[in-house]
A and B are shown apart, each in its own frame.
Chain A
Amino acid sequence: DAGVIQSPRHEVTEMGQEVTLRCKPISGHDYLFWYRQTMMRGLELLIYFNNNVPIDDSGMPEDRFSAKMPNASFSTLKIQPSEPRDSAVYFCASSFGTVNQPQHFGDGTRLSIL
């Protein structure tokens, strides 16, 4: 079975550029999560969706970050404009929404903003 698919695996770009990270959740999963991992702050939940609808975006650091889920099989996390402090590994995860199901993570996107 295909797992959560993220692209790109690595992204290096200059400060001020727009960055778009992509995620395809596991088919049939109705929850999708975006996390950020840094050395200083560990794993942080940024936003999550249920049935394509954003439920909680309280973890989104600032207005430069936005996330969309236009359909059940695709989500994007966009940073515009990007800053060096956005450098991190960004993970997408999905789960089937019953309360005892684990979240399954993608391989992550390692983002470097120069």
Chain B
Amino acid sequence: AQKVTQAQTEISVVEKEDVTLDCVYETRDTTYYLFWYKQPPSGELVFLIRRNSFDEQNEISGRYSWNFQKSTSSFNFTITASQVVDSAVYFCALSQPKSLADQGAQKLVFGQGTRLTINP
């Protein structure tokens, strides 16, 4: 079965610190996709990044970076020089196998989320 574990329920750091959010996944698929979403206090879910299982290159986008390691089934997210606006709940998600009836959709399994608080 597909499973995503975000072991850190809550993290609190002081502004400008670097912080890493962990994500460990389980799947028997050889082809899959991993995602990170951000849910700020206003409640919406914002897509951050998608990574496919064949691309293990790390990705950097401004202060955000992602480290994908298939050997450890992890897809960790690091925020460098954190800011108060980064405070949110962050979700890691894994695509489920597509059914025989529908090869297009990505059914997502979400982790429980990590609540990140950046204190001024």
Binding site for B on A (CB under 8 A): 30-31, 42-43, 45, 48, 50, 55-56, 89, 91, 93, 95, 97-108, 110
Q: Which of B50-66 touch A at CB < 8 Å? A: 50, 52
Known: A56-B102, A95-B106. A103 touches B47 (CB 8 A): yes
User: Size band of the B side of the interface?
Assistant: 20 to 34
Count A-B pairs with CB separation below 8 Å.
61
Task: Give the secondary structure class of A's interface.
Answer: strand
Binding site for A on B (CB under 8 A): 33, 35, 37, 42-47, 50, 52, 91, 98-99, 101-108, 110-113
| A43 lies within 8 A of B35 (CB) | no
Residues of B within 8 A of A30 (CB): 104
Q: How far is the CB of B58 from chain A (nearest CB, A)?
A: 18
Known: A42-B110, A42-B113. A105 touches B44 (CB 8 A): yes
